[in-house]
Structure 1
Amino acid sequence: MKIAIVRQRYNPYGGAERFVERALAALAAEGIDVFLIARQWTQAAANGFQRINCDPPSGGVFGGRLARDRGFALAAAKLMAAGQFDLVQSHERIPGCSIFRAGDGVHAAWLAQRARVLGAVGRWSQRLSPYHRYVLDAEANMFAHPALRAVICNSRMVADEIHRFYGVDRERLVLIENGVDLDVFNPEQVSIHRAGIRRASGIPESVPLLLHVGSGFARKGVPQLLQAMARCAGGEFHLAIVGADRKLNALRATAERLGIGRRVHFTGPLPDVRPWYGAADGFVLPTLYDPGPNAVLEAMACGLPVLTSTSCGARDWVIPGKNGYLVDALDVDALSDGLLRLCALAELPASRLLARAAVAELGLPAMADRLIALYRRLIVGNGLQVSPDRVV
């Protein structure tokens, strides 16, 4: 079996890229010939797959992301056509792929959510943006292309959006959630890391600690999170924020201005977040839009109850009042109330057990099995024939 995976660049902190890395390693271990068509991929040599360099000129500093993305798409499409692959799975919006993995969600849905926080001028600019128009056209053309045989959705939310915005048949929408290493991310992180991280960070053992993990703070909801925390009357919990953002220092200043600076811990990006999963009592991600965040999956695997938004694909795993809560990403009052409720819920041992149980079937072997089964069904030409619970 000869399969090509298309992904423009690898970011070691990116959820979609980590999915690709895990999937490629699992497929290569099964003896499948895996080729990666990419512009940048720093981990390629370690995973037993073959890289096909795709780095066309992008116009330098004057080209911008539109020229970069369009140039990569055109070059990758040529490589896809010339490679004689049994299947091509693209993680970019490139018409002509046989499988599209919607790991980045639906651009049309993201723009609809983003418009909620923009003023009239911002919404006008978004509608006229050449880049957004290019992505929307590429998205529409890809979903309408006759070569497309299946769409891998990492959450039911994404499947619903693809069907609603583009009318793709439900039979072609296959649910394969991100996989998590359940041996690496586990409740034992508490006994390993809790005391040391709290001591080093000046967080008392008896004080609840909530954790946020994710780069790109505006989309991930950090500004609203700080505002909500400041409104929590009587709430003396601490908050750790792990991730990268150009406005990190400005948000530190915001926390100080809101009077919560001593209880908010900005760590910057970290290659290993497990110590903070072990130190925390609950996980919070009030993201404006997130199709299927690995951070929530990892946190729940470590036994952390979760507060996330209704525009997050991880809502599938949350049982409100049992292992977490759901709120609108922009409802600061509801978020403030949710933070206090999460602190209270985290005190119940059952909530940790239910958090772990919600993702217990999403291990890496299960993800690899579902991917390989999908590929084999498509290659033998018998249609999808996907298990009913996998068709969304």
Structure 2
Amino acid sequence: MRIALLTRRFDSAGGGTERDLIITAEYLRAAGHQITIFADEIRGATGEWDIRRVGPGPRLGRTLSLLRFGWTAAPTARRAGADMVLSFARCVGADVMRSGGGAHASYVRAARKWRGVIGATAMRITPYHRVQMIVERQAFRSPGLKRVIAVSNFVRDDLIREFGLAPEKTLTIYNGVDLERFRPATGPSERAAIRQKFAVPSSARVVAFVGNGFARKGLGFLIEAWPLVAGGAFLMVAGADRQTDKFARRARALNVGTRIVFTGPQPNVETIFHAADAFAMPSLFEPFGNVVMEAMASGLPPMTSAFSGVAEIIPPSMRGFRVENPNDVGEVALRLGALFDAPASLGAEARATAEKFTWTRYAEELNALIGSIG
């Protein structure tokens, strides 16, 4: 079958959606399908894939580009001979829509939790976000849409609620995790070397936080709770954010600045996991949370929140680390205490849980879906 994959941006070195799309393309090709990728923006293209830009000609502003791509990508792919159109972006007319983030309208509503009322209102009325909501509503209500893939039940339930989708046509296919890259540390020396690099004591308890967009992912709540954390524990923060200095100043004001280490972006983020004893990300809005699975694959028990899709697959033994209300600093501190008191055996259980969610499993479920509608 000739399958078209639609994406706003193709980047061979990208993460997140770009990585998911390339992995999907690889598995579909391995199953015997002919793959063509249609994108609005192309970076790092190689001869490995047939990649075509939608709407050739001068670049438009991001709002007009979004609008053009949303309405023309699927028809363009069909004119090029596609038998099936699978979209990783908000596009009207696809056969299958894959949602990695839920309804954009839900994201905008949730944004007041970390942007405040004024910031969220400004976001909601900007043309860029308004166009995203208009296009996605048309896309998910398109009469030709056959199936919707969600990356978690958190996202699936949101899409059904927001767009009135038929539950039987909306299914969850969890992402996989790279079990070779993300693995437990091989020994004390590997762990010690990373700690020494960032001046973290070898004997300290260490929690890792990894991600960009610190406010949405709950870093502020961890910092506020850190003075309540006993035993001189350290927090290692890996990632980029325009307001990093603001978070660092708050840590110093709370007299925990020496115990919160901002490493900046780390290309080999698995090494941060090797230096840690546990992982924490009490997000305010997290459709899934691939990084939590990566931490678990690295042998770290995780703190999650009730607003994270990945919390659905956390085993019962670790559900006591789930934060119901990230704004409640006392609860965050309580969950951190439970995390520190957890038995060492949970590391192996975290790894075993991650091992159930391979990319091979993802491919089998995806191919079963394609076969059911092909």
Query: Does TM-score exceed 0.5, indicating one fold?
Result: yes
Say if 1:182 and 1:301, in contact at 8 Å, map to a contact too. yes
- Say if 2:69 is the partner of 1:72: yes
Instruction: Give 2:83's match in structure 1, choosing from 58, 82, 86.
Output: 86
Partners of 2:84 and 2:188 in 1: CA distance: 45
Contact 2:198 2:263 (8 Å CA) reproduced: no
Alignment of 1:207-286 (within 5 A): 207-230=204-227, 232-286=228-282
**Structure 1 residue 249: Cα displacement:** 2.8
Aligned counterparts of 1:342 and 1:41: Cα–Cα separation in 2: 43
For residues 287 and 276 of structure 1, what CA distance do their matches in structure 2 show?
19
Over 3 Å counting, the alpha-carbon distance change for 1:121 and 1:200 in structure 2 is closer
Structure 2 equivalent of residue 52 of structure 1: 52
Given the superposition, is the C-alpha separation of residues 228 and 16 from structure 1 closer, same or farther in structure 2, using an over 3 Å criterion? farther
Counterpart in the other structure of 2:302: 306
Contact 1:28–1:49, Cα closer than 8 Å, also in 2: no
Structure 2 letter corresponding to 1:181: D
2:165 to 150, 168, 187: 168
Gaps (5+ residues) in structure 1?
380-392
Rounded to whole Å, the distance in 2 between the matches of 1:10 and 1:193 is: 35
1:221-265: CA deviation from partner (whole Å, max 9, x where unpaired)? 2222222223x2524111111112122233223322222221112
Separation in 2, partners of 1:260, 1:223 = 13
> Which shows bigger deviation, 365-374 or 110-119?
110-119
- 1:47-99, Cα deviation, whole Å (9 max, x unpaired): x321112365444xxx3x32232233234234223122121111111110111
- Pair 1:340 & 2:337 matched: yes
In the TM superposition, what is the alpha-carbon distance from 1:219 to its structure 2 partner?
Answer: 1.7
CA contact (8 A) 2:229 2:333 kept: no
Does the aligned pair in 2 maintain the 1:150–1:172 contact within 8 Å? yes
Question: Structure 1's 30 and 270: CA in aligned 2 closer, same or farther, altered over 3 A?
Answer: farther
TM-score, length-scaled by structure 2: 0.91
**SS of alignment partner, residue 356 of structure 2:** coil
Cα 1:98–1:134, aligned 2, differ >3 Å: closer, same or farther?
same
* CA distance in structure 2 between the partners assigned to 1:319 and 1:361 by the alignment: 12
Whichever residue aligns with residue 212 of structure 2, its letter is S
Partner residue of 2:201 out of 187, 196, 204: 204
8 Å contact from structure 1 (residues 311, 329) kept in 2: no
Whole-angstrom distance in 2 between the partners of 1:261 and 1:97 = 49
Corresponding residue SS for 1:309: coil
Whether 1:111 aligns to 2:108 is yes
Within-5 A mapping of 1:307-386:
307-319=303-315, 321-322=317-318, 325-327=321-323, 328-345=325-342, 348-379=343-374
What secondary structure sits across from 2:8 in the alignment? coil
Question: What is the CA–CA distance in structure 2 between the aligned matches of 1:362 and 1:192, rounded to whole Å?
Answer: 29
Residue identity opposite 1:144 in structure 2: R
Deviates more, 1:9-18 or 1:304-313: 9-18
Q: What is the distance in 2 between the residues matched to 1:9 and 1:30?
A: 24
* Residues 321 and 301 of structure 1: CA distance in aligned 2, closer, same or farther (over 3 Å): same
Paired position in structure 1 for 2:28: 27
Q: 1:273 to 1:119 in 2, by over 3 A?
A: closer
Establish whether residue 194 from structure 1 lines up as the match of residue 195 from structure 2. no
* Structure 2 residues not aligned, in runs of 5+: none
Distance (whole Å) between structure 2 residues aligned to residue 6 and residue 238 of structure 1: 42
For 1:111 and 1:248, the matched residues in 2 are separated by 23
- Aligned pairs for 1:285-304 (under 5 A) are 285-304=281-300
1:308 maps to amino acid: T
RMSD (Å) for aligned C-alpha atoms: 2.2
State the distance in 2 between where 1:13 and 1:290 align: 19
Contact persistence 2:239–2:264 (CA under 8 A) = yes
Whether the 8 Å contact between 1:255 and 1:264 is mirrored in structure 2 is yes
CA distance in structure 2 between the partners assigned to 1:178 and 1:233 by the alignment? 33
Q: 1:143 to 1:339 in 2, by over 3 A?
A: same
1:144 deviates by 0.8
CA displacement at 1:215 relative to structure 2: 1.1
Distance verdict in 2 for CA 1:42–1:191, change over 3 Å: farther
Deviation at 1:329, TM superposition (A): 2.9
Which moved further from structure 2: 206-215 or 14-23?
Answer: 14-23
Hey, what's the Cα distance between the residues in 1 that align with 2:222 and 2:295? 18
Kept after mapping to 2: 8 A contact 1:303/1:356 = yes
Distance 2:187 2:224 in 1: 28
2:230 is paired with a residue whose SS is: coil
Contact 2:36 2:50 (8 Å CA) reproduced: yes
Contact 2:296 2:350 in 1 (8 A): yes
Partner Cα distance (2:310, 2:258) in 1 = 30
Task: Give TM-score, length-normalised by structure 1.
Answer: 0.87
SS of corresponding position for 2:5? strand
Other structure's SS at 2:178 match: coil
Identity of aligned residues (%): 33
> The residue matched to 2:373 in structure 1 has which SS?
helix
Matching of residues 118-137 of structure 1 within 5 Å: 118-137=115-134
